[in-house]
Chains A and B, each alone.
Chain A
Amino acid sequence: MPRFDEGRPEMTLEEFRLLRDHVYAHCGILIHENMKFVMERRLWPRLEALGIQDFGSYHRYLRYDAQRHAELEAAVESLTTHETYFFREPAQLKAFCEELLPILEKRNAHTRRLRLWSAGCSSGEEAYTLAMLLKDSGRFNDWDVEVIGTDLSRRVLAVARRAEYGPSALRATPPDLLERYFIPVGVNRVRVRDDVKAWVNFGHHNLADVAGSQLVPRTDVVFCRNVMIYFDQAARRRVLGVIRDRLCPGGYLLLGHAENLLSLGADFELVHLKGDLVYRRPELPGGEGR
């Protein structure tokens, strides 16, 4: 059997740490030591594309080359996991629809405006899912609605904008919703319908970039699911600060089901819905807060 690591340079532990620290400083993603193999594999193509022989030289390239910024993006791109699919974590989405949407409808009745942010949206499935759920609720049809999807990776954003998906993205999509919100565009592939797309906007944003977050509008709900699992405590704290700042007072934060704000959550209050636990940015004292 042919060897899968034939003729490729190996990454020493030292090179691993230097590269890892560099990536961490850029975007807060922490790569654990047992992931050295994964890192090595994901970066090989970069070395190959640049004609670089070993990881030490690659590290120096990332530090000094005139193209270093673009290359760091390319590196982070290949190192991040973009796994996502439509209607991921259905229990949480159910709680969102049944319990949060009515609250939001009431709260924003006077502005008839609703903003949702899918932070770390990957290839867009989550953002579109939210738009579909809003449509399906029938509550916001003539409202000013926008779902903002942001991600660090420009490559996934391109996929998100194209809005065409295959079976793996649709593996949890209920058949009736598939019927209602997608149109077939070829064998096994579908496209998100235009009226859903019209509610969704994508943009590039590094959650670790506090200043850059000003470009994200104030939102009523933030979904930041399965993103912070890759960060360490300090990076999480920073990102939570950004999220809090971008949430309207009284706005909600929904995390992935394996995530929580234990020992981090002083800025958020825990809200027990019937179907889920969510976090909320406290109201401003003595006011409506919008």
Chain B
Amino acid sequence: MSDTVRSPAGQEEARYRALQAVDPRAPGALETFTTGLHDESWRVRHAAAEGLRRVPDAQGVTARLISVLGERGETGARNAAAEALAGMGPVATQPLVHLLEHEDPDQRKLAADILGQLGHPEVEDVLLRALSDGDLNVRVAAAEALGRMGGPAAARALEGLLDTPTPLLRLAALEGLASLKRAPPLERVMALVEDPALQRSALRLLGLYAPGVATERICRALASPVRSVREAALVALGTQAGALGPYERGELDAVARSVLGGIPGVTERVAQALDGEDVQVRAGALVAAGALGEASLAVPVAEVAREDRLLREVLFTLGQLGPDGRRLLLEGMGTLSLPARTVAAEALVLLVDATSVPELCALLEWAEDDLRAVVVRALGRTRSPQAVAPLVELLADPALSGIAARALEQLTVAHPLASLTALEAAVEQRATPAAVAVLGRLGGARVLPLLRRLARDEEASWRAAAVEAAGRVDGEAGLELARGALADESPRVRIAAVRSLGQQGGKEAATFLGLALKDEDRGVRVAAVEAVGAAGAKERSADLESLVRHGDSGLAMLAVRALTKLGTVGAGVLWDALSHPDAEVVKAALAALASAEASADGAALAVSLLGHPRWDVRVAAARVLGGLGRPECLLALEQALSVERDALARAALADAVARLSSGR
């Protein structure tokens, strides 16, 4: 026997396992589990409660559990029984309602507690009656229960309790209203917020009101010497801000700024809260930091990004901290945690100006790849001619060249000459083919000779870049280079040629694309399918149609999309696509239906997909049907809605039903 089994822990383990091994359907299981409810270890009790939930005779189990609730002195067992009852569902409701009549107030209290956890709205009346129970604990438990699950009547009753002389009940009422998100008239809460015992709960409730008086009172609480009061205030501030969109916080921020500005030491307190455990407190601290516009908080604010859920707020707040905050962030980059560094960089993109280039370049020296991507974007936004050279250099980095190219385009608007010169120099020095692409986009006809020369380069990557760039510069030259490039031995160059043809359009391009569609390389074929769509080359429809049945579902899907673009999807193709095993092909076909003339056939096809095993196909089918506006489909949609379980599909179906019923 191992040490573990002899040790108390091992014995616990053995009991735990024994309970897990019990078959809930076996005779005697009910009693075995009930005994387990009385075990000294919470883990074993928990396993017993779990087991009871699986015993088939739910009524018998409920009755047995209720009897355990009556065992005075057995606290652990009673709690476990309560937990199990809360997991029993509707079958437990009536027996518990009955228990609310028990002569022992303790049991009545437990009944109210559990009913609250069960959360069935139909017991609201019973709980409302329990608010006038002779025993205070029962009244409090009933108020708490109503706060968990109540409707309007519960909210009214809780509101009524705000005036009772019993502090405990007032507290339960405040908490309940806060959790129901029901705001009583503001004056009533404002009166309670001055009572130290109720302050925290009242503050949280204040978070439900529109900015203004409530904000002011909440912010004043940040002067409290009591930490938990300050935290409640921060939670409320976060709730207020959360109800508004991030860019609709003007009033709230103004009020908060005016009050917080007068509280000595508030910056340190906010900094401390930013570092706290509770997510809601941190959310509120972000609002406070932003309202204060306190640049020195930039680093702790960025660190809150370690909590994913607060990412949006962190970004917004960093934006509120202004240029000084930006400087601190830039200086602190090296000391920030990884997640903080990423959001800090994101925020910097928005805050940079022409003076930021040196700092951004310094960051490029050491930052991780994804950060560097952000820095590249920021360089584009500086609108400074100094940013041109580093960006041209970055075109040589495969991970960043796409982003660098776009950033350069931004700069070119402001500094066309500097950008072009730098790009030309880069091409002359054969820095990177990516520079050719940008040059082609920005340089116009004057770079054509250069592109012609590069199209004969020894290296495929330069040839490809030149061919694609020429297509953007000039139709005729583009076509000529593309034709030559279609015979290139490198698929990469052929793909560039195909893309260029896609941009040109016209009869000749269509002919060449026909050849490319039969290329031996899959990449070329994929590019050709897309290019046919882009070029509007209807003469290639038949080629695409034959691809719809292709075993490579990527090609099939692209073919359907391209045909849709061309507006030449025939019924036969649709049938093929709609019965394709890959859902993306089916969805592409549905999209074609939506854009084609609303045919009775199309509607029938879409209806047949309302029962498709994949939720996304059902969503797409419902959308199409909503769009086609054929009333005869209403019945099918309603039927589908009545059996649909997926939330997104339900929403799409409901929308389609609404559109068809209103004849929109």
Q: Residues on A close to B: CB < 8 A?
A: 1-4, 6, 13-14, 17-18, 34-35, 37-38, 41, 45, 48-51, 60, 63-66, 78, 81-83, 85, 123, 155, 159, 166-169, 187-189, 262-263, 266, 269-272, 280, 282-283
Answer whether residue B335 sits at the interface, using C-beta atoms and an 8 A cutoff: yes
With contacts A155-B368, A270-B13 taken as known, whether A83 is within 8 angstroms of B648 at the C-beta atoms is no
Known pairs A6-B350, A270-B13. 14 more at Cβ < 8 A? A4-B347, A14-B616, A14-B648, A35-B309, A37-B311, A48-B377, A49-B403, A64-B554, A123-B338, A166-B334, A167-B335, A188-B334, A271-B9, A272-B7
The answer to whether B334 touches A189 (Cβ under 8 A) is yes
Give complex CA distance A37, B402 in Å: 24
Contact among B309, B334, B347, B523 for A34, CB-based, below 8 A: B309
The answer to whether A1 touches B373 (Cβ under 8 A) is no
Answer whether residue B394 sits at the interface, using C-beta atoms and an 8 A cutoff: no
**22 A-B residue pairings within 8 Å (CB atoms):** A1-B247, A1-B319, A1-B320, A3-B350, A4-B312, A4-B319, A4-B346, A41-B311, A48-B373, A60-B584, A64-B558, A64-B584, A159-B368, A168-B303, A168-B337, A168-B340, A262-B46, A269-B10, A270-B13, A272-B7, A272-B8, A272-B12
Answer whether residue B370 sits at the interface, using C-beta atoms and an 8 A cutoff: yes
Contacts of A169 in B (CB 8 A): 337
Answer whether residue B2 sits at the interface, using C-beta atoms and an 8 A cutoff: yes
Closest to A269 in B: B13
The answer to whether A83 touches B9 (Cβ under 8 A) is no
Give complex CA distance A283, B10 in Å: 13
Greatest chain B CB density within 10 A among A17, A82, A189 is at A17
Contacts of A1 in B (CB 8 A): 247, 319-320
Closest to A45 in B: B373
With contacts A4-B350, A37-B312, A63-B584 taken as known, whether A83 is within 8 angstroms of B402 at the C-beta atoms is no
The answer to whether B584 touches A271 (Cβ under 8 A) is no
Give complex CA distance A166, B333 in Å: 10
Contacts of B400 in A (CB 8 A): 49
Contact among A35, A51, A85, A280 for B4, CB-based, below 8 A: A280
Closest to B561 in A: A60
The answer to whether B338 touches A82 (Cβ under 8 A) is yes
The answer to whether A168 touches B336 (Cβ under 8 A) is yes
Complex interface residues of chain B between 2 and 33 (CB less than 8 A to chain A): 2, 4, 7-10, 12-13, 16-17, 20
The answer to whether B13 touches A13 (Cβ under 8 A) is no
Closest to A59 in B: B584
Give complex CA distance A8, B554 in Å: 26
Contact among B20, B311, B336, B337 for A266, CB-based, below 8 A: B20
Answer whether residue B135 sits at the interface, using C-beta atoms and an 8 A cutoff: no
Greatest chain A CB density within 10 A among B13, B320, B339 is at B13
Closest to B2 in A: A283
Give complex CA distance A50, B401 in Å: 10
Closest to A188 in B: B335
Report B309-349 CB contacts with A as 1/0, cut-off 8 Å: 10110011001100000000000001111111000001100
Answer whether residue B306 sits at the interface, using C-beta atoms and an 8 A cutoff: yes
Closest to A263 in B: B50
Give complex CA distance A112, B542 in Å: 72
Answer whether residue B103 sits at the interface, using C-beta atoms and an 8 A cutoff: no
The answer to whether B335 touches A168 (Cβ under 8 A) is yes
Give complex CA distance A60, B530 in Å: 13
Nearest Cβ in chain A — how far from B400, in angstroms? 8
